Amino acid sequence: MTESLAISKFSDLANPTRFLALAARILPWMAAATVMLFAIGLYLSFTTEGDYQQGATVRIMYVHVPAAWLSMMCYTVMAVSAIGTLVWRHTLADVSHKAAAPLGAAFTLIALATGSLWGKPMWGTWWVWDARLTSVFVLFLMYLGLIALNRAMDDPSRAARVSAVLILVGFVNIPIIKFSVDWWNTLHQPASVIRMGGPTIDQEFLWPLLIMAIAFTMLFFTLHTMAMRNEIWRRRVAAQRRMAARMAGHVTGSEA
Amino acid sequence: MTALLLRDLKLSVRAGGGALIGVLFFMTVVAVIPFGVGPDLNLLSRIGPAIVWIGALLSALLGLDRLFQTEREDGSLDLLLMQEHPLVLTVLVKCLAHWLGNGLPLVIASPLLGLFMNMDEVAIGATMLTLLVGTPALTFIGAVGAAVAVALPRGGLLVSILVLPLAIPVLIFGVSASYAAVEDPAPFMPPFLILVAITMFFAVLGPLGAALALRNAGD
């Protein structure tokens, strides 16, 4: 009984109009929370003392690590939406993974760029073909491929279903990225925050990092909701344009 | 199913089928490398397995967009979708036929290119063996890409872009197994077995994904 109620609540939310109403209500709050978290996170990142070895460059971590987490979380969100597309055939799920792809690409690019900037002073090179770096680069290419695929098709619902299949197949890369540092013992350091036996990172770095991670996550969800809203609007505009064109054709046809 | 296999094989071998073009492309890619890096035989023999593998990967991608495209054009894809056999099996058979027509010739041509690259017998044998085991995985992964892009007017390039990232593990383990056979300290079996595992994994995932995409790509 309660379960069916929960499902009906959930499907209520899945109605695009209700989603738009909800988005309009919570977006200001989400945006405000994002700004506040970023303010606290950035303040903490800049006031903590630098590492005794790395100096100020350690602050790159506060952007690099959350962006890298987000690049993987975004793909996971897309995979969940892809299941929604294929199983329930829901428009909102289509919109969700279409809107998430450019965001994921952006976060991956940020992770790669900041990692590269961090690598130059620390490892002495901009880029190495290390397992983690390579697999994240592959993730970036996959995001771009998905965007290209979505753009190549006119029919949005077919594009969504087809790219959902590809998203699910590409999901095999996510565990590879996560565990690449454990499987291949290469230059990139293994996980130091989310690991068995608690984080090995010092408290001083842990707090700003966690707040920045939450801020990035909020940023992602805010942008994602906004992108979904825009996509729904775009589709409605396209549908209305089609209808207007049909009406116009009808009128001229009757005159002739 | 056997009839489908034979039909696809015939189509791929006959004129315009593209099987020979794949081998030609493979040879051309490998032949271009010495012009790029210079005719240093020692260097060529060192990078030989990698070059042969990359050439094979690229030429395996070349023929992929034809996997379902011609069927869609003449309408037989709808017949395949409608028949009683599970679509996954049909896709699997089509992949096998595609591999026999396009992948196997690459494997057969690889020793010759190995000679061009001044590789010794062990390296040539190892490369051929890894190609034999690894190229089916490329076909299975490619089937997903081909099915996804089947409805697109110019899907060929997009298929390559979509498929290449997924094909990287195959390349990594194929090349590392080939090198392991030549260089003493590294054992040959672990990367080779992982390559086998990848092929088996994609033999399941590839046709499943491709069948799903084909069903959804229909209008």
Please list the pLDDT of chain B residue by residue as tens digits (219 residues): 777 777 777 777 665 556 678 888 888 888 888 888 877 777 877 788 888 888 888 888 877 877 777 777 777 777 777 777 788 888 888 888 888 888 888 888 888 888 877 778 788 888 888 888 888 888 888 888 888 888 776 667 788 888 888 888 888 888 888 887 777 666 777 888 888 888 888 888 888 888 888 887 765
Query: How many contacts does A have with B, using Cβ atoms within 8 A?
Result: 67
Query: Which residues 132-171 of B have a C-beta within 8 angstroms of A?
Result: 144-145, 147-149, 151-152, 155, 158, 161-162, 164-166, 168-169
Please answer whether residues B59 and B22 qualify as being in contact, where contact means their C-beta atoms are separated by less than 8 angstroms.
yes
Distance from CA of A2 to the nearest CA of B (A): 33
What does the pLDDT read at residue A10? 59
Q: How many domains does chain B have?
A: 1
Compute CA B117 distance to the chain's CA centroid, rounded to the nearest angstrom: 21
Please answer whether residues A80 and A212 qualify as being in contact, where contact means their C-beta atoms are separated by less than 8 angstroms.
no
Please answer whether residues A181 and A191 qualify as being in contact, where contact means their C-beta atoms are separated by less than 8 angstroms.
yes
All residues at 6 or more sequence positions from B3 whose CB lies less than 8 Å from its CB, including other chains = none
Note the ipTM here: 0.71
Q: What is the pTM of this model?
A: 0.78
Task: Give the chain B residue nearest A143 (alpha carbons).
Answer: B162
What does the pLDDT read at residue A256? 47
Angle in degrees, CA B84, B86, B91, rounded to 5: 120
Two tokens, residue A13: 């939310």
Closest CA to A181 of A68, A56, A55: A68
**What angle, 0 to 180 degrees and rounded to 10, lies between the N-to-C axes of helices B189-217 and A156-170?**
160
- How far CA B142 is from CA of A43, B26, B63, B151, B164, in Å, comes to 48, 17, 10, 15, 9
CB contact under 8 A, B162 and A172: no
Q: A90, A138, A166: which to substitute to probe chain B, counting the most B Cβ within 10 Å?
A: A166
CB contact under 8 A, A165 and B212: yes
CB contact under 8 A, A165 and B158: no
Residues on chain A touching B158 (C-beta within 8 angstroms): 145, 148-149, 152
All residues at 6 or more sequence positions from B204 whose CB lies less than 8 Å from its CB, including other chains = none
CB contact under 8 A, B216 and A169: no
Closest CA to B66 of B137, B160, B135: B160
Could you say which residues of chain A have pLDDT below 70?
1-14, 49-56, 180-204, 251-256
Closest CA to A223 of A141, A101, A80: A101
CB contact under 8 A, A142 and B212: no
Burial class (CB in 10 A: 0-12, 13-18, 19+), B2: exposed
What does the pLDDT read at residue A1? 42
Distance from CA of B202 to the nearest CA of A (A): 10
Closest CA to A179 of A74, A72, A106: A72
Residues on chain A touching B197 (C-beta within 8 angstroms): none
Q: Which DSSP symbol is given to B39?
A: S
Task: Give the chain A residue nearest B213 (alpha carbons).
Answer: A162
Q: What is the C-alpha separation between B192 and B194, in angstroms, rounded?
A: 5
Domain residue limits at B67: 2-217
Max Cα separation, chain A? 83
Please answer whether residues B103 and B128 qualify as being in contact, where contact means their C-beta atoms are separated by less than 8 angstroms.
no
Q: What is the C-alpha separation between A52 and A50, in angstroms, rounded?
A: 6
**HSE on the CB side for A220, CA within 13 Å?**
30
**HSE on the CB side for A6, CA within 13 Å?**
3
CB contact under 8 A, B168 and A138: yes
What does the pLDDT read at residue A223? 92
The H or E element spanning position A249 is helix A203-255
